[in-house]
Amino acid sequence: DGGITQSPKYLFRKEGQNVTLSCEQNLNHDAMYWYRQDPGQGLRLIYYSQIVNDFQKGDIAEGYSVSREKKESFPLTVTSAQKNPTAFYLCASSKQKTGNTIYFGEGSWLTVV
C-alpha cells in the first residue's frame, strides 16, 4: 500500500545525543515536510523539501538538520543543540502543485531522558 512510513514510533534519547528520525514515502510525491507537535499546540514546520538535494528551513529549524538525497526519503536529525526536543514529530508529503493535499505519516514520539 502507498503511504508514508515513519520510524521508530517511540525513541528515547539521552541529553547531548543526536538522534535521527526516518521518513520514507512511496507516493511518488515531490515535496516532503517535517512538523513538530507539542501538547495543546498545533503543528509547527521544522524543514521542508520541494525537490531532491534541496531543502528550506521552516519556522522552528534551530537544533534540527535534514537531508534529501532520494525522492522517497527525508530523514530528520534532532541534534544536541535542540533545547527542548521532547515532542511528537510528523512527516508529511505532497505533490509539488498548488493546492495538492498534504498526507501525514503516523508520527514518531521522541523523549529525552
Place of cell 530528520: 76
In this structure, are residues 49 and 32 in contact, taking their beta carbons and an 8 Å threshold? yes
By the rule CB under 8 A, 96 interacts with another protein: yes
The correct pick among 11, 27, 43, 52 for binding another protein (CB under 8 A) is 43
By the rule CB under 8 A, 45 interacts with another protein: yes
By the rule CB under 8 A, 103 interacts with another protein: yes
d(CA 86, CA 51): 29
Nearest residue to 13 via CA among 95, 113, 85: 113
Count residues contacting another protein (CB under 8 A)? 29
By the rule CB under 8 A, 2 interacts with another protein: no
In this structure, are residues 35 and 45 in contact, taking their beta carbons and an 8 Å threshold? yes
The correct pick among 54, 83, 99, 113 for binding another protein (CB under 8 A) is 99
* Rg of the chain, C-alpha, whole Å: 13
Site residues (CB under 8 A) for another protein? 4, 31, 33, 40-45, 48, 50, 58, 88, 90, 92, 94, 96-107, 109
